[in-house]
Structure 1
Amino acid sequence: MELFIRYIGENWADLLVLTYQHIVMVLLGLALALAAGVPLGIAASRHRTLGKVILTVANIIQVFPSLALLVLLMIVFGLGSTTVVIGLFLYSLLPVIRNTYVGLTQVSPTLLEAGRGVGMSPMQILINVQLPLALPFILTGIRVAAVIAIGVATIAPLVGGSGLGREIYAGINMDNPARLYAGAIPAALLALLADLALGRLHRTVKFGK
C-alpha cells in the first residue's frame, strides 16, 4: 500500500492524462452507439422481421471476445485509439438497441391511438409520445453500455490505444503491483461512478425526483 500511495504521489499528473484519455475513448464509443443504436432500435420496433435481424447481429457482436474483435478491427483500421473507439462502439450497440426496442414496444397502444386521434403523424407520435416514454429504458441501456465500455477500454494498449490500461499492462509486465493498481483502481472507480450517475439520472427521469 505504501508503494502504491508513493507511486500515485509521484505520477498523479500522468495518471490524470491517462484517465482523461480513457474517458474520451469511452464517451466517443458511447456517442457513436447512441447515434446508431437508437435509430436501429426504432427500426427494430417498427419492422418485426428487420428487428430480429438487427438484434441477432447485435447479439453476435456482443458475445464476440473483446480482444479478438479489437484485433480484427486493428487489421482494418491499424494500431491506435481509432480501433479502440470503434470496438467500444460495437460493444455498446446491443444495450442501446435492445433497450430502445423494448422501451418503444412497451408503450401502451391506447396512447398511440390517442395520438392518432388528435391528428399526430407517425413521426410526431414517435417524438412526442414513444421516445419520452421509452427514455428510462434507453438510459438503462446507456448505463449498461457505459460500464461495459469502461471495462473493455482497459485492453486498449494491446492494439495501440491509450488510457488506464497502459498502467495495468505495465504493472503486469514489470511485476509492479503499484502500477497495476494505479490503472485498475481508477478504472473500477470510473465504472462505479458512471453506474451511480446514470442510475440517478434514470431514477430522476422515471420518477421525477
Structure 2
Amino acid sequence: MNTLTEAWDWLTDPAHWSGADGIGHRLLQHLVLTAVCLVVSCLIALPVAVVLGHLGKGGALAVNISNVGRAIPTFAVLVLLLLTPVGQWGEGPTVVALVLFAVPPLLTNAYVGMREVDRGVVEVAYGMGMTGQQVMFHVELPLSLPMILTGVRIAAVQLVATATIAALAGGGGLGRIITAGFNLADTSQVVAGAVLVAAFALVVEGVFALTGRLAPAWARRTR
C-alpha cells in the first residue's frame, strides 16, 4: 500500500506534469507515436486484406505470414533494427518494430470480416448489375466494418502498451517515465508510469469500443 500511495503522490505532484520530462509532454509523445504507427499499419494491412478478402484468394497465406510476426518479440526486432542502417533514422527503428507488431491483427480481422459477409447478399449485388469494385466498396466493406474496427482496436491497444519500448531506443513517450524510475531506483515512479500506460490503454479501448457500437448502424444505413 505504501508503494501505491507514493505512486499516487508522484502522479498528483504538479511538478511532474510540466516541462520536457513531464507527464503531459511524455503523454503527447506516446499518443503521437501510437497514432503514427497505427496509421502506417492500417495503410499497409487494410488495403491488402480488403482486396484479398474480396477476391477470396491468397488471404490465408498472407494472414499466416503476418502472424509469424507475433512469435517474434518486438523488443528483439527493435534491437536488431538498431544494429542496421535503420538505426540512424531516429524513431525509425521503433516505428518499424511497432508497425510489424500491429499488422497481424489488422490483416487478420479485416480479411475474416470480408470473407464472413453473407455470400447471398454478394450474389444479389452482382445480380443487380454491380461491378466487383462496387460490391467491394458498397456491400462487403460496410458489412465487414465492425470486424475491421475490432482489428484496429486490438492493434491500437497493443501499440499503446508496447510503445513504451521507444524509451529503450532513446525515444520519448511514457516509457521514459518508467525507465527513469528504474535508473533512479524510484519504485513509486515506475509504478506511476505503469499506471499511466494502463490508463491510456483503457481510454483507447473505450474510444474504440464506442466507435464499434456505432459502426453497425452506419453499415445498415450504407447497405
TM-score between the two structures when normalised by the length of structure 1: 0.92
What's the counterpart of residue 166 of structure 1?
176
SS at match of 2:47: helix
Equivalent runs, 1:46-195 vs 2, <5 Å: 46=54, 50-76=58-84, 77-78=86-87, 80-195=90-205
* Aligned equivalents of 2:10, 2:211: Cα separation in 1: 36
Task: Tell me how far apart the structure 1 counterparts of residues 127 and 97 of structure 2 sit (CA, whole Å).
Answer: 44
Partner Cα distance (1:51, 1:122) in 2: 17
Partner of 1:27: 35
What residue is the counterpart of 1:39 in the other structure? Answer: 47
- Is 1:204 aligned to 2:214, yes or no? yes
Query: Relative to total residues, which structure has the larger helix share, 1 or 2?
Result: 1
The 10-residue stretch of structure 1 (100-109 or 71-80) with the greater mean CA deviation from structure 2: 71-80
Q: CA deviation at 1:73?
A: 2.1
Question: Matched residue of 1:78: which SS?
Answer: helix
The gaps in structure 1 that reach 5 residues or longer are none
Relative distance call for 1:139 and 1:183 in structure 2 (3 A) is: same
Question: How many angstroms apart in 1 are the aligned matches of 2:217 and 2:141?
Answer: 16
Contact 1:95 1:141 in 2 (8 A): yes
Give the C-alpha shift of residue 133 in structure 1: 0.4
Residue 109 (structure 1) shift: 1.1
One-letter amino acid matched to 1:104: M
My pick for the range that moved more, 134-143 or 171-180, is: 171-180
Shift, 1:159, TM fit: 1.5
How much has 1:128 moved relative to structure 2?
0.3
- TM-superposed deviation, 1:200: 1.1
| 1:162-200 deviation line (CA, Å, top 9, x unaligned) | 101011011112210232133211111110001111011
Q: What percentage of residue pairs aligned between the two structures are identical? A: 32
Corresponding residue pairs, total: 208
In structure 1, how many angstroms separate the alpha carbons of the residues matched to 2:128 and 2:55? 24
Q: Is the 8 A contact 1:45 1:51 kept in 2?
A: yes
Greater Cα shift, 35-44 or 13-22: 35-44
TM-score when normalising by structure 2 = 0.87
Deviations 1:19-58 (A, max 9, x none): 0000111101100111111112124324556223211221
Measured in 2, the distance between the counterparts of 1:132 and 1:52 equals: 22
Moved over 4 A (4+): 46-49
Q: Any idea what SS the aligned residue of 2:83 has?
A: helix
Give the CA RMSD over aligned residues: 1.8
- Is 1:11 equivalent to 2:20 in the alignment? no
Change (3 A) 1:128 1:103: same
Please list every run of 5 or more consecutive structure 2 residues that lacks an aligned counterpart in the other structure. 219-223
**Kept after mapping to 2: 8 A contact 1:26/1:150:** yes
